[in-house]
């Protein structure tokens, strides 16, 4: 009987090799969530081929209002996917290469 109880109390084997928790896990989840929206994914695709573009460029590309584009850009920026540099009255957006490299490394540990 004691043997059966000790087997039940033993720690389960590790299910994956991803060593992530806390703030890093929250960061990874936030990045995944940001890409989960089809319009934000389209914005990311656009920025791959059109670096350093302004909001107006994205508005011309997508069939949505400027205010909606701005909201999506904010989500992508807050998640770390993009960076924005203020240039006069406009903000120029580009991919955040350092954060993308971090994301790729973490995802690579999962799959």
- Give 88-105 pLDDT, tens digit per residue: 899 999 999 999 999 999
Contacts of 51 (CB under 8 A, 6+ apart): 94, 95
Give the mean model confidence (pLDDT) for residues 104-109: 92
* Residue 89 token pair: 């009255």
CA distance 85 to 91: 5
Residue 13 confidence class, pLDDT cut points 50, 70, 90? low
C-alpha to C-alpha distance for 76 and 70, rounded to whole angstroms = 10
**pLDDT of 8 over the 60 cut:** no
Q: Which of 59, 62, 17, 20 is nearest to 38 (CA)?
A: 62
Model confidence, pTM: 0.81
Q: Give the per-residue pLDDT at 19.
A: 76
pLDDT digits (tens, 9 = 90+) for 78-89: 999 999 999 889
**Average predicted confidence (pLDDT) for the chain:** 88
């Amino acid at each position: 009987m004691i043997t059966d109880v000790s087997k039940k109390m033993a720690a389960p084997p590790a299910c994956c090799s991803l060593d992530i928790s806390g703030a890093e896990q929250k960061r990874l989840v936030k990045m995944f969530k940001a890409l989960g929206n089809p319009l934000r994914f389209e914005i990311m695709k656009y920025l791959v081929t059109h670096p350093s573009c302004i909001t107006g460029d994205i508005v011309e590309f997508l069939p949505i209002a400027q205010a909606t584009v701005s909201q999506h850009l904010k989500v992508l920026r807050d998640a770390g996917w993009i960076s924005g540099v203020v240039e006069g009255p406009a903000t120029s957006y580009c991919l955040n290469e350092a954060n993308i490299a971090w994301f790729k490394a973490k995802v690579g540990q999962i799959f």
